Structure 1
Amino acid sequence: MIENTFGMNIIPENDAERLVALRRYRIMDTPSEASFDNIASLCTKIFNVPISLVSLVDAERVFFKANVGMGKAKEANRGKSLCALAVLDHEITLFKDAFEEPCLMANPNVVGDFGLRFYAGAPLITHDDFLIGTLCIIDQKPREFSEQEKVILAGMAKSVMDQIELRISALEEIENHQSTNSLLLEQQEELQVMNEELTASNEEQIQARKAVEEINQRLQIALDASKLGSTEVDLATGSMQSTDQFKANYGYSKEETFTYADLFNAMLPEYRDRVKGLVQESIAKNEIYRAEYPVKWRDGSIHWISAHGRPRYDEDGKANRMVGMTADITESKLFEQRKDDFLSIASHELKTPITTLRASLQLLHRIKDKPSSPIHLKLIEQSNRSMEKMSVLVDDLLNMNRLTQGQLELSKTTFNIFEMLSLCCNHVRLEGKYELIVEGDTDLIIHADEHRIEQVVINFVNNAVKYAPDSKEIHLSIENLGHYAKVSVKDKGPGIESDILPNLFDRYYRVNYNSQNYTGLGLGLYICSEIIKRHGGKIGAESELGVGSVFWFTIPI
């Protein structure tokens, strides 16, 4: 039964015909499929949202064919799911802030624990103009949604509908083949009839082959878009018929021969027996196997592969083929590793000053009744240094959290950037070890968050001090580029290797610089990058080994 929470009619006038159109696709309550899951996953990345669904609206419920970010949910009541509203209109259904929509004030997804605030759903429109479901994106905070983003979401919804059409076409073609074969067997007694049927069958097979070729072309387009590789293995010979992307996942070009033996040779040795065991278990149980494993390309680089496959059997029930698909998941694995490393580093970096502070306070407590002495001053200074270090680490963590939650606010004012640079970084000037030289346009006025811009400059200067300690001069320069102001911090240190430069501003990226270990969480440059992006500017770094490095950013004037 529909539990309508919207306070309005959510059943279109043509719902009976719409449901007939939905059911002809035979997709309700079917298992998840990679082609739909990949599009939903791609949506979360393109639009930077935590949730994306491919939903199909039935008579009383909404079935989730693909679900990224909403746990194991398979369906929802039609009267509670916002997707029920998206099949009422050919245009995109958009709620920028659900709290401002009267029809959502009683919806449990909005007012309940789930906390839905943003929803955009593009309808899945059949070739005969029925709206059977949606491709939607969801966020738990309000946000804007541009016209260009609407066009992209609508286009991806069309791709989902193409996949649904492709899927039913493949099913119907398989059934057509089965029907044709049955007819041939029934007509074998009469030679003339058999010849006629064979002729008809040949014509049908030609048409069917063309249809299959078209289906394969459309499927290949979908595979290319999601960077998935597919293959078919002859288990007897080890030969493989693989797509170009499948070969590329293992470091082979499309012209090269790639065999089943090559696949296992590329796999790191410690993973081979486990994957072979999964394949044998899949053959024995006639089920899909899934595995993740690292492979070593011939150039020595390591890449992670996500693979799944299923056996195929001959007329005697013996497994003779294996069909499978792979994706290169190296980037996501590296991100997970960086995050794990970050958590380990964060706990270590916080533990060190806390331990030092505790020891200093314990010693102070023991001598609290004694007159003041040099040891008091030393312990107090040591405690202050520990507190300052913890304060920097906690500030980085808080800024990181604000960025993740979209809560880093800018308080913009108009100020002279030359004067700001001349007054900042006093902690470096007071030490007397380095000379900060400010040069360039002395009259350039900008409109920005002065505190946040100073935070970026201080980070650049601190890095110059940390990683180029022998560079006694640090140059801070200002350029007027017309519509933008450019600020650069230059040192004459050892420089940074070219393969490191592109990753410097990534979240969780931390590197041992010149094989030396430095303290810190490795979040500073990522936070700087986000601050500059929030201002509508750009950030970057240039370096030459043995010459030095330049870190720069631009912001609108």
Structure 2
Amino acid sequence: MNPIILDFEQAKSKHLLFKSRLRSILYDIPVEEGPVLSHHECSVGKWIYGHALAAYGHIPEMHELEMIHAEIHISARKLVALHKDGKSQEARNGLSEMEAVADQLVNLLGLVEKKLENDPGNHEPIAVLNFNPEEYNDLLRSNAELDKRIKQQIADNNESSLKYEAVLSALHEGIIIQDSAGVLISANQSAERLLGMTADQMRGLTSMSPDWGSIAENGEPLPGELHAPMLALKTGLSQINQILGITKKDQKVVWLSVNSQPLIHKETEEITGVVSSFFDVTATREYEALLKDSVSEQQALNEELAASNEEQAAVNEELISTNEELTVSQESIRHLLEKVEASESRFRFMLNAIPQQVWTATADGALDYVNQVVCDDFGYNTEEIVGHGWQAFIHPDDLENCLKKWLKALETGNEYVVEFRLKFKDGNYVWHLARAVPFAENKEILLWLGTNTNIDLQKMNEQRKDEFLSIASHELKTPLTSIKAYNQIVQKISDPEKLRPFLKKSADHIARLERLIGDLLDVTKINAGKIYYAQEPVNFRELMAHTVESVQHTTSSHEIILQTVPEITYSGDQLRLEQVLHNFLSNAVKYSPEAGKILVNGKVDEDNIIVSVQDFGIGIARENIDKLFNRYYRVDNTAMRFEGLGLGLFISAEILRKHGGSFWIESEIGKGSTFYFRLPLQNIQKPEVTKTTTFYRDRHIIINYNQTQRRLDVDWTGFHDEESVKHGCLILLEYLQNNKSDRIVNDNTHVLGNWSEAAEWVGNIWFPMMEKAGLKYFAHVFSPSTFSELAARKSIDIMAGIITTQFFSDVDAAELWINNQP
């Protein structure tokens, strides 16, 4: 072969090898040697500067060749830098532009080769090249092998991407994917519909972006760092059923149930991102907006009940619509299954990333696969669940109906739809809607593809609604019936003196009905967030004195004694705060019929106003105290003696919560009860904090690392709310990690009042974070406050994990127990 042709073919092969090695690096394909990024040091550069210019001279084409070669290496260095910064897709996108310039270099080499071949002159290659044809063939083979591997990698990546995008598009739930920094990188069509933004508008946003306008379940603004995806990224734990509201661009609020699953690298165990699914629960929240209109007479009540029935019908229609949409999702997934058989491992990964139970069964109905969500819910691995079958987890009362419908579906080949309760690893049963469709080929069923959707929240709301309507109907009908009877008697009596007692009794029942209606309307306004709270200076002495005087006029059986009153001005809604104290005093009168006095006290304690109302009546059993938070609860042993829906305490609790306060109860059977409420005062002084590596102190918590016993000793003090509990718990997490401890003595002896509003956060969020940080043993010393003890028990009851916990009434016993742990 002509030496010039061989020389230029060698140069082209070296250029192609450089390009293949660059593509291998950008597509994460292992190679023995990466591309040389210096245009002087690479093999083509050495050919140009160390050989070609000397052999063929500085002809114009050679100068152009130098410029193009340098431009290629500048682009290559930029692409490799992007890849190292984690921007691999952006680097791959830029590769095509660089390769267009690289093609110009190959073309130019061909032009120079032909020019020299036609007019060689004195341009013979330098003899010292010692060109080896075998080396040339090795270059060609290396190029071909690398090119083949790169094309296969690109094809595999494109196939996986297309399949995953198809799965996301087919789902009715909104799906978003965020990277390890919380930046949104992908959103499906359902996410666009629910959030009111296109995927392009959302891409690049984080949970902290102001575009979301998020609202917590309690109606307060929800900081971005507390969004489920951000908590999943921070803790590495799944976040299940977080309820939040999103204000869309049209100012409408959509309420969502959000589930987030962190994506963890199999080898490095680093969190690489998070995938979240969510669906609309706006209609569910609206179930609680009951009895909005006046119920001043029986006819109005009947109309309200009819309206509620219509609302239930609308909900059923919505569920049917949702079922139809889920059917579409099922059909879409069924079609996708055939396409992803060649990449089964990737398909399994995608199913595991979806926070919903997904399963498949053979043509004859035998369960053969469940995704990771099922395993996490049941506490078994895939093989164990498949071995047990659904029968081991379905509630016994639901099993017969499920089997009947499943056998019917297998017989007819029709869609399988059923509602049942599934037993989770904590022993509780959770309502699910199961749907399965057959996958057939040539009219022969090959397998069944199914999903189980958690509908427990909807079921609970339906039950609460039915119970509320039943109680409300009974309570409102009772005074109306009595009024009707007294009116019939009045019509038969002509003597005014004989009429007087019946008119008084009728008036009493009308007042009772008026109070019930007022409470119902307040509950409706609270649920709808429509109660307005004024912020004005309130003379607290006058407020307490006026309310005591007002209630004293309504009773002659009790003396209400105002013992101590704080001389202070408070900023709040005076009428609503009077309503709270009025409710406490009315309850004290009602539940102490045999007592003759009620004691009322107020004081300022630790930047809080504390008010107490003490009666000497029947008392409340310990097991019933925590139930008084429930909106419709009446203590069982007094239900027949004392009237009322039990809404007063719920309304009072909501009023106090809006003022940043709380209430609690101390009671003893046969001796009476003391109802307390707390209102925080603004403290403009900066809190004093003492902090070292092993010791921490502020006004709410003291933490000391006991190096001898390798434990953290924690002393909580004073009154607490959700904010102070979360702050102290996160400080405690920091000290557990930094001191590498695995045990805590948690002393609540000096805790006052009630912190139950933070109990669920402690159980569901904080304890899993502490377990991941290394906590194994937790000794809790009770507070003298009943409500504080109940909050502690609740947080432990709902805790998921394997932390060993024990309750104590004194610190010495707690320390002895924890020191004896291994």
Q: Tell me the secondary structure at the aligned position of residue 25 of structure 1.
A: helix
Q: Any stretches of 5+ residues in structure 1 without a counterpart?
A: 1-16, 40-53, 57-62, 69-80, 97-117, 125-134, 146-151, 180-207
SS of equivalent residue, structure 1 residue 360: helix
CA distance in 2: counterparts of 1:170 and 1:295, whole angstroms: 24
Match of 1:384 in 2: 507
Indicate how the Cα distance of structure 1 residues 474 and 244 shifts in structure 2: closer, same or farther if over 3 A, else same. farther
Return the alpha-carbon distance in structure 1 between the equivalents of residues 670 and 383 of structure 2. Answer: 41
Q: In structure 1, what is the equivalent of residue 464 of structure 2?
A: 338
| Alignment length (residue pairs) | 419
* Structure possessing the higher relative contact order (Cα contacts under 8 Å, 6 or more residues apart): 1
2:589, 2:634 → 1: CA distance?
A: 17
Q: CA deviation at 1:324?
A: 4.7
Within the candidate set 595, 604, 608, 1:480 is matched to 604
Q: For 2:197, give the aligned amino acid.
A: C
1:59 maps to what in 2? none
Q: 2:360, 2:369 within 8 Å by CA — same for their partners in 1?
A: yes
The amino acid of 1:483's aligned partner reads: D
Which residue number corresponds to residue 83 of structure 1? Answer: 197
Q: Give the 5 Å matches for 1:90-105.
A: 90-91=204-205, 94=211
For the residues of structure 2 that align with 1:408 and 1:328, how far apart are their CA atoms? 30
User: For residues 428-454 of structure 1, what are the alpha-carbon distances to aligned partners after superposition, in whole Å with 9 as ceiling and x for unaligned?
Assistant: 565333343434453233222221111
Q: 1:38, CA displacement in angstroms? A: 11
What residue in structure 1 maps to residue 560 of structure 2?
436
Output the CA distance in 2 between the equivalents of 1:67 and 1:418: 54
Choose between structure 1 and 2: higher helix proportion: 2
SS at match of 2:645: coil
Larger Rg: 2
* 2:175–2:276 Cα contact (<8 Å) kept: no
Kindly report the root-mean-square deviation, in angstroms, between the aligned alpha carbons of the 2 structures. 5.5
The 1:416/1:272 distance shift into structure 2, 3 A limit, reads: same
Question: Among 165, 168, 176, which residue is 1:25 paired with?
Answer: 165
- Which of the residues 295, 303, 306 maps onto 2:432? 306
| TM-score w.r.t. length of structure 1 | 0.58
SS for the counterpart of 2:601 is strand
- Write the deviation string for residues 50-108 of structure 1: whole angstroms up to 9, x where unpaired: xxxx986xxxxxx546877xxxxxxxxxxxx9535982885557498xxxxxxxxxxxx
Cα 1:419–1:230, aligned 2, differ >3 Å: closer, same or farther? same
Deviation at 1:244, TM superposition (A): 8.4
Amino acid at match of 2:611: V
1:399 to 516, 519, 522: 522
SS at 1:87's partner residue?
helix
Following superposition, the deviation at residue 510 of structure 1 comes to: 2.3
Residues 359-411 of structure 1 show CA distances to partners (whole Å, capped at 9, x for unaligned) of 333443444xx4522x2111220121121011101211221222233221123
CA distance in 1, matches of 2:455, 2:176: 13
State how 1:131-210 maps to structure 2 within 5 Å: 137-138=246-247, 159=274, 175=339, 177-178=341-342, 209=345
2:566 match: secondary structure: coil
Q: Provide the rounded CA distance (Å) in 2 between the counterparts of 1:173 and 1:319.
A: 11
Residues 418 and 376 of structure 1: is their aligned pair in 2 closer, same or farther, counting only changes over 3 Å? same
8 Å contact 1:536–1:556 — kept in the other structure? Answer: yes
Out of 452, 457, 460, the residue aligned to residue 325 of structure 1 is: 452
Paired AA for residue 30 in structure 1: A
**In 2 relative to 1, CA 406–30 (structure 1 residues): closer, same or farther, beyond 3 Å?**
same
**1:236 Cα deviation from its structure 2 partner:** 8.2
Identity percentage of aligned residues: 23
- The 3 A distance-change label for structure 1 pair 143 and 440 is farther
Quote the residue 1:448 is aligned against. 572
Match of 2:590 among 466, 478, 481: 466
Task: Tell me the residue number matched to 1:291.
Answer: 418
Aligned with 2:629: secondary structure? coil
Partner Cα separation in structure 1 for residue 191 and residue 253 of structure 2: 27
Please name the residue that 1:424 is paired with.
Answer: 547
Stretches of structure 2 that go unaligned for 5 or more consecutive residues are 1-92, 94-157, 178-185, 214-220, 230-243, 263-272, 279-331, 682-822
Paired residue secondary structure (1:280): helix
C-alpha contact 1:293 1:306 (8 A) present in aligned 2: yes
Q: Distance in 1 between matches of 2:547 and 2:556?
A: 15
Q: What amino acid is the match of 2:588? A: A
Do the aligned partners of residues 495 and 229 (structure 1) sit closer, same or farther apart at CA in structure 2, a change above 3 Å counting? farther
Amino acid at match of 2:514: S
Q: 1:8 corresponds to which residue?
A: none
Per-residue CA distance 1:233-278 (angstroms, 9 max, x = gap): 789897887678747867x788996677685466555432211122
Q: Secondary structure at the match of 1:83?
A: coil
Length-normalised TM-score, structure 2? 0.41
Partners of 2:376 and 2:338 in 1: how far apart? 30
Secondary structure of the residue aligned to 1:436 is strand
- Write out per-residue CA displacement over residues 131-181 of structure 1, whole angstroms, 9 at most, x where no aligned residue: xxxx99347996999xxxxxx99x9xx855799xxxx999999746538xx
Deviation at 1:502, TM superposition (A): 3.9
- 2:659 pairs with 513, 535, 557, which one? 535
Other-structure match for 1:193: none
AA at the equivalent of 1:551? F
Give 3-state SS (helix, strand or coil) of 1:432's partner: coil
Deviations 1:514-542, CA, capped at 9 Å, x for gaps: 27344323322221122112222223344
Asked whether the 8 Å contact 1:268–1:295 carries over to 2, the reply is yes
Work out whether residues 441 and 480 of structure 1, in 8 Å CA contact, stay in contact via their aligned partners in 2.
Answer: no
**Cα–Cα, structure 1 residues 274 and 230, in superposed 2: closer, same or farther, change >3 Å?**
same
1:455 Cα offset (Å): 0.8
SS in 2 for 1:514: helix
Residue identity matched to 1:539: F
Find the partner of 1:277 among 382, 387, 404: 404
Distance change (3 Å), C-alpha of 1:343 and 1:314: closer
Q: Secondary structure at the match of 1:26?
A: helix
**2:166/2:336 contact within 8 Å kept:** no
Q: Secondary structure at the match of 1:336?
A: helix
Deviates more, 1:454-463 or 1:539-548: 539-548
User: 1: distance between equivalents of 2:467 and 2:435?
Assistant: 32
The more displaced of 489-498 and 531-540 is: 489-498
The answer to whether the 8 A contact 2:176-2:187 is kept is no
Query: Post-superposition shift, 1:307?
Result: 3.9
Question: Once structures 1 and 2 are overlaid, which stretch shifts more, 536-545 or 333-342?
Answer: 536-545
Q: Which amino acid aligns with 1:289?
A: Y
Q: Which amino acid aligns with 2:467?
A: D
Amino acid corresponding to residue 403 of structure 2 in structure 1: K
Note if contact 1:467-1:493 (Cα within 8 Å) is conserved in structure 2: yes
Q: Which residue of 2 aligns with 1:413?
A: 536
Q: 1:364 aligns with which of 487, 490, 493?
A: 490
> Superposition pairs for residues 218-257 of structure 1, below 5 Å?
219=353, 223=355, 246=374
Alignment check: 8 A CA contact 1:540 1:553 kept: yes
In structure 2, how many angstroms separate the alpha carbons of the residues matched to 1:378 and 1:499? 41
Does the CA contact (< 8 Å) of 1:356 and 1:386 recur in 2?
Answer: yes
Aligned partners of 1:239 and 1:506: how far apart in 2?
Answer: 41
The 1-side partners of 2:334 and 2:439 are apart by 19
**Distance of aligned partners of 1:548 and 1:378 in 2 relative to their CA distance in 1, 3 Å threshold:** closer
- Alpha-carbon offset, residue 306 of structure 1: 0.9
Distance 1:249 1:397 in 2: 38
User: For the Cα contact (< 8 Å) 1:30–1:65, is it kept in 2?
Assistant: no
